[in-house]
Amino acid sequence: MDAEALKQLLLKIKIEPGDESTVTKSMSEIQELFEKKKDVTERELDGSCITRDERQLSAIIGQCTNPFSGTPSPVLYNLSTGKAATLKTQQFLLGAIQIGSRAMNEFIQRYILLKLVTVNAKEIHLVFDNITSPSIKDIERERRGESERHTSYSNLLLKQKQPTNFLQALRSDSFKLEFVKLLSNGFSDPSLSCILGDKVLFLIVGKSCFSLRKSDVVIAWLEEIDKKCSHKEADTRMITHAASINSPVTIAIRSADTDVLVISLSNISKMNKNNTFYLETGLASNNTHKFTNLTHSKFLRGYVGGT
């Protein structure tokens, strides 16, 4: 409280007759006391009056912990207090990348599997390229200027910048390899068995092919020896899978590549006559989703000379 505030407070106090001089004297003494205190404070803040006590300063610094000195430690410190964080906090913050990667991993696996099983089919064949280098298509890809193909992906989750365009990223050989690895590792999770249900999923890993089926509360993996294939391109590998399916069934080949249409038409005469083949293209979201009947296609009549 400063002198002026104290003066105002005293004015509010009821003064008895005859005490006016006493109050006036007291106010003068209080005002003088404040002036002396002000002078003392100003002298204490004068630079010439400040002395250094390095011993005391060294003792204070010695009691603090510098988390940036010496050998890096896995312990986290609160910079405002210098104290170590609790073990629970350390485990969460230091493992944030791994925790986030696992969560993203599980989300991607479940999302993809959910999308696959929504297909109205008993069997689903997920076919990928068998990446080899050098490849006969390297020159063609270079001519197209597919710069994304040279982007390297070492791990799709841990410390790996995620692609903003999934379709563009699929042009990268390393992305395809890591994507297949992600699915093959993730689909082994027993908790996904309830999503798979009674459907059978065929997954291509390199030259091998595995069938995934629900068995009790786990997903049973079985290598399909008869579907092992050395084809480098998924375009032709899809046709070999379609040809291996027992009849009579309806088979839909999902692809937006015109190469698949040409390859399908050129091999349709070698397919099981009791099966019906369709080429699925487009998206329902933009009203381009459609099925082209390859078995009774007008293209087929002209191609094989039919009537």
The domain spans of the chain are 3-49, 89-232, 235-307
> Side by side, which strands form the sheet with 250-254?
250-254, 276-281, 290-293
In degrees rounded to 5, what are phi and psi of residue 225?
-60, -40
Question: What pTM was estimated for this model as a whole?
Answer: 0.62
In contact, 67 and 80? CB cutoff 8 Å: no
Q: What is the pLDDT of residues 68-124, one digit of tens each?
A: 666 566 677 777 777 778 888 877 877 777 777 777 778 888 888 888 888 888 899
Three-state SS string over 134-188 comes to CCCCHHHHHHHCCHHHHCCCCCCCCCCCCCCCHHHHCCCHHHHHHHHHHHHHHCC
d(CA 290, CA 284): 8
> Who's near 199: CB < 8 A, 6+ residues apart?
117, 121, 122, 123, 124
| pLDDT < 70: residue spans in the chain | 1-53, 56-57, 60-74, 140-150, 153-163, 297-307
Look at residue 180 in the predicted model and tell me its pLDDT. Answer: 85
What is the spatial distance between Cα 90 and Cα 75, in angstroms, rounded to a whole number? 7
**Confidence at residue 255, expressed as pLDDT on a 0 to 100 scale:** 86
Distances (CA, A) of 2 to 30, 36, 37, 117, 225: 10, 13, 11, 79, 94
Largest CA distance in the chain: 134
Q: Nearest-CA neighbor of 232 among 111, 123, 131, 110?
A: 131
Structure tokens at 283: 């998206």
Phi-psi region for residue 216, left (φ > 0), alpha (ψ -120 to 50) or beta? left
E runs forming strands in the chain: 123-126, 200-205, 208-215, 218-223, 250-254, 276-281, 290-293
